[in-house]
Amino acid sequence: MKVEVLKKTANELKIEVKDAGHGFCNLLQKTLLEDEEVDLAGYNMPHPLSSHSLIYVRTKGKLKPEEAVRDALKKLRETNKEFRRELKKAFKA
């Protein structure tokens, strides 16, 4: 997965992510929107045959958009760990 910053301002961030599909982008968008400091989060896949996605984040001003993305990724990492633990329990039962 390769990431390129296309636009960065005090409260906006637009990045291109190569080899990221709807699953990852949708999960990141949903997690970003759970943050009260995030005003808008979305993604776009310019073409169905393309292997890259555009992710856009706009914050309300107190939080930098890149920090919002980092926070969302940390939250996703913790959710993944919790899911893994519960899955292991379920497989043992």
> Are the beta carbons of 17 and 29 closer than 8 angstroms?
no
Instruction: With cut-offs at 50, 70 and 90, classify the pLDDT of residue 48.
Output: confident
Q: What is the DSSP letter of 17?
A: E
CATH superfamily of 2-92: RNA polymerase, RBP11-like subunit (3.30.1360.10)
**Is residue 79's pLDDT more than 90?**
yes
**Is residue 47's pLDDT more than 90?**
no
pLDDT at 16: 96
**Is residue 17's pLDDT more than 90?**
yes
pTM of the model: 0.89
Burial class of residue 72, CB neighbours in 10 A (0-12, 13-18, 19+)? buried
61: left (phi over 0), alpha (psi -120 to 50) or beta: left
**Is residue 50's pLDDT more than 90?**
no
